[in-house]
Amino acid sequence: MNNWNPTWNWADLNLTVAAPEIVLLTGLFAVLLADLWTSDDKRYITHWLSVGVLLSAAFGQWGVWQSQDAVGAFNNMYIADGLSQLTKIAVYLGMAVLFIYARPYNQMRGIDKGEFYTLSLFAVSGMSIMISANHFLSAYLGLELLSLALYALIALRRDSVVASEAALKYFVLGALASGLLLYGISMVYGATGTLEFSQIVDLARAGSVNGWLLKLGVLFIVAGVAFKFGAVPFHMWVPDVYQGAPTSVAALVGSLPKIAATVFAFRILVGGLVLQKGDWQPMFAILAILSLLVGNLAAIMQTDIKRMFAFSTVSHMGFILLAFIGSVIGVEAAVYYAIAYALMALAGFGVLMLLSRDGRECENLSDLAGLNQRNAWYAFVMLLVMFSMAGIPPLMGFYAKFAVLKALISTNAYVWVLPVAVFAVVMSLVGAFYYLRVVKIMYFDDKTDDAPVQGDSTAKLLLSANALLLLLWGVMPEQLMGWIRVAVANAGLTLGS
């Protein structure tokens, strides 16, 4: 049953398809070395070099794009297909945009250091490996690389007790989740004799597995995956991390890893454990229902806008988990939703960083009071973000929720699917309350701060483009959905009809 083959040659590595990761890691070490000889007054060198590394990785991915069938590398532990290529480009470009958003904010707080850029690039490397994993070992390697970088980033402000506490809580709970995931992986190996996703499917189809041990392994793996999504009841770290971390780091934690987590979950559950979907799909339904309920109800009670975003994230992850119950269009809907949420989170946190200044954090809802009187354009940007998160047409968030509900209703696998879809709609209506409350505060409350909105012109331009993209891909969603549909078809991921 053991399919491990100790013989290999250099051709098995197939380094060409891993060019984006090679470019990224080479550039990362270049940033590390350059930062050693860069003084604080010339930190812009580290900043723009890091942005250049990410853009180079994105162009590298474009240059080795595989338009045909999926291609394996590193003895088939790494896979390059349409899904990995599209989502990695989204992650690289998203991180480059986040660096530009974060620089003025970090400068005011004394954390515009090389550590922020190098740790963030390590996190991107972890996400990239997670996205292309075709083996439990490479998947776990990517997950831990991302997690370890985030632990350090959250505690980047060493003089902040709140940040240190948030990092410690995330570390302890993350270690527990990693242990659960490893325990599940060991059970899957014991049941099948392999850790490669495609071989697990083949062995399960042939009946050459220990069924009960595999079911138990699936249970622990779902727990580990749910932690990365921040789904209830594995969400305890989310509000504390969002509130305690610097806003620039909270923007990272709450945006791009959701794309990586979505593809990571599909690699494991759809790419490797699809024949066990009768076991994990009901668990995902329960996690989604709890996340929608707890996330939306808890967000209503928040006065700290970062904690509100945190519980909002929990509810949005509930929608992504619901897509796992759908057919192949559920895969497409989940990827679209993850990209849409990353764009919404980047724009939302971008506005908070723009409104923060030296000695004053924009962290309470009252800090947004009268924003329309201070700067009508950025009030409109935040309005687009809030309306999109609420799922109001014609913004991107509306189509994302619609696509998930469509995928959910289209499946005939379970009799409880329709009531779950109705529940998701009701929870979306509940969630609209706290999003519209932010709009009311910005447009109808008296301003509490007369300071003009300042910031880097490049960051302001990108923030405006980011928000308008929510409108453009909401009005014309088929452009992005068309790319995703081709990418998913190329990956060959399907939950069945």
Q: Please tell me which of 273-282, 311-320, 361-370 the model is most confident about, judged by mean pLDDT.
A: 311-320
Tell me: pLDDT of 257 over 70: yes
Q: What is the pTM of this model?
A: 0.92
For residue 197, the one-letter residue type is F
Query: Which of helix, strand or coil describes residue 273?
Result: coil
Q: How far is 57 from 418, CA to CA, in rounded Å?
A: 43
Is 495 a member of any domain?
A: no
pLDDT attached to residue 67: 67
Q: What is the mean pLDDT of the chain?
A: 87
- Residues spanned by the domain of 215: 12-490
Q: Is the peptide bond before 394 cis (omega within 30 degrees of 0)?
A: yes
Confidence of residue 497 (pLDDT cuts 50, 70, 90): very low
Is 390 a member of any domain?
A: yes
For residue 192, the one-letter residue type is T
Is 496 a member of any domain?
A: no
Q: Output the CA–CA distances (angstroms, integers) from residue 267 to 196, 273, 286, 425, in the order listed.
A: 10, 9, 21, 28
pLDDT attached to residue 384: 94
Tell me: pLDDT of 218 over 50: yes
Q: How far is 173 from 231, CA to CA, in rounded Å?
A: 13
Q: How far is 174 from 166, CA to CA, in rounded Å?
A: 12
- Predicted confidence (pLDDT) per residue in 119-138, tens digit: 999 999 999 999 999 999 99
Mean pLDDT on 256-267: 92
Task: Let me know: does 418 contact 391? Beta carbons within 8 Å.
Answer: no
Confidence of residue 385 (pLDDT cuts 50, 70, 90): very high
Residue 395 backbone dihedrals phi, psi, to 5 degrees: -85, 170
pLDDT attached to residue 116: 92
Cα angle for residues 255, 257, 263 (degrees, 5° grid): 120
Is 377 a member of any domain?
A: yes
Which of 121, 251, 235 lies closest to 177, judged by CA?
A: 235
pLDDT attached to residue 7: 53
Work out the burial of residue 126: count CB atoms within 10 Å of its CB; fewer than 13 is exposed, 13-18 middle, 19 or more buried.
buried
Is 434 a member of any domain?
A: yes
Is 285 a member of any domain?
A: yes
How far does the chain reach from its first CA to its final CA, in angstroms? 30
Tell me: pLDDT of 386 over 70: yes
Q: How many domains does the chain have?
A: 1
Which of 493, 218, 201, 466 lies closest to 333, judged by CA?
A: 493
Is 387 a member of any domain?
A: yes
Q: How far is 350 from 98, CA to CA, in rounded Å?
A: 8
Is 464 a member of any domain?
A: yes
pLDDT attached to residue 493: 59
Confidence of residue 64 (pLDDT cuts 50, 70, 90): confident
Confidence of residue 448 (pLDDT cuts 50, 70, 90): confident
Task: Let me know: does 191 contact 203? Beta carbons within 8 Å.
Answer: no
Residues 6 or more apart from 348 whose CB is under 8 A from it? 309, 382, 385, 386, 389
Confidence of residue 37 (pLDDT cuts 50, 70, 90): confident
